[in-house]
A and B are shown apart, each in its own frame.
Chain A
Amino acid sequence: MTPSDAALIARVVGRDDRDAFGELVHRHQSGVRRFLRHLAAGDAALADDLAQEAFVEAWRNLARFRGEASFTTWVLGIAHNRWRNAWRRRRTEQAAAAAAEPPAPTPSPAPASDLRQDLAAALRLLSAEEQTAMHLFYRQGLTHSEIAAVLEWPLGTVKTHLARGKDKLRQHLSAWNPQT
């Protein structure tokens, strides 16, 4: 029988069981790395470095994990903090405003193009906050409350970003559905 996350955490905290922690990392690495790759705009090397740091930090602080949220939510929150710190460092180092430039105007989807490609392009046109909320909701399967916990946003802000993001997607992709 596969041990639950809670059982593995108890083994790590109680017995310094590294194999149990390895199993936890193995279970959750995909979600954490996918989230960080999303935040890092596909920079897999940076995302993996941050994911590794996040898991090591999780190891150090596992005794403080109260189990009020799921382990996924908790470790995604650590990963998000790591990303924020890295982004701040990078911003001060680079001092370039290029990253903050507004995205290019939306190209209207050609009728022959693929809806998935257009969706991916349209997602990139959302604000960073909207993209992150959409990623966590649709791609990581988190609830509104879990997203609020991961990003340390008020629940209302999460709902607003999701609703706005979806509205914008509908507008950008209206060519696919002229009746809307």
Chain B
Amino acid sequence: MEPANLRPDDDPIEALLRRALPPEVPDAGFSARVLAALPPPSRRSLPWRQILLCAAGAAAGAAAALATGHSLQLALPTDAELAAAAQGAAQALSRPANALTVLIAAAALLYAWRGGEWELSG
């Protein structure tokens, strides 16, 4: 039984509020239920979207190169060949269709590089 007359300087309300803590809620299997409700561990599936976009970008780039009359070669190019290739590429990029192809390839590579952070709808 609490005393009927409490001294005002005790601020019994404050003291009582601080004292009257409700008991801890026992876990009683709650944590286990939460863990069971978590989404299953994500098996890192192949990032097929990035792979497809990368392949498409590479194919588009190769197509653009072949369209400008370049052949694929495995040997290291000479300086003169590089300069000629750069000049040819510049000429090729002046055509809107080629520029668009390169732009698409660059966007696909950028998307792949960012690891699919930008979620596409669907």
Contact = CB atoms under 8 A, between A and B. Distances in A.
Interface of A: 16, 18, 21-22, 25-26, 29-30, 33-34, 37, 48, 51-52, 55-56, 59-60, 111, 114-116, 119, 134, 138-139, 166, 169-170, 173, 176-180
A30 B38 contact: no
B11 to A, nearest CB: 9
Given A114-B1, A176-B4, A177-B12, 17 more contacts: A18-B41, A25-B31, A33-B30, A52-B37, A55-B34, A60-B39, A111-B4, A115-B2, A116-B16, A116-B20, A134-B17, A138-B18, A166-B13, A170-B13, A176-B6, A176-B12, A177-B8
A21 B35 contact: yes
Contacts of B20: 116, 119, 138
B17 to A, nearest CB: 4
A21 B35 CA distance: 8
Interface in B1-38: 1-2, 4-8, 12-14, 16-18, 20-22, 24-27, 30-35, 37-38
B33 A173 contact: no
Contact of A115 (B16, B24, B38): B16
B37 A56 contact: yes
B31 A26 contact: yes
Nearest to B13: A169
A56 B31 CA distance: 11
Nearest to B18: A138
Question: What DSSP secondary structure best describes chain B's contact surface?
Answer: loop
A178 to B, nearest CB: 7
Contact of A16 (B7, B21, B41): B41
Identify whether the interface residues of A are mostly helix, strand, loop, or mixed.
helix
A56 B36 CA distance: 10
B8 to A, nearest CB: 5
A169 B13 CA distance: 7
Contact of B38 (A29, A59, A138, A178): A59
Interface string B35-74: 1011101100000000000000000000000000000000
A16 to B, nearest CB: 6
A177 B5 CA distance: 5
A179 B8 contact: yes
Contact of A51 (B30, B32, B39): B30
Contacts of B34: 22, 25, 29, 52, 55-56
A56 B38 contact: yes
Contacts of B31: 22, 25-26, 29
Contacts of B22: 34, 139
A30 B16 contact: no
A55 B35 CA distance: 9
Closest 8 CB pairs of A and B: A115-B2, A138-B17, A25-B31, A30-B25, A26-B31, A55-B34, A30-B24, A33-B25
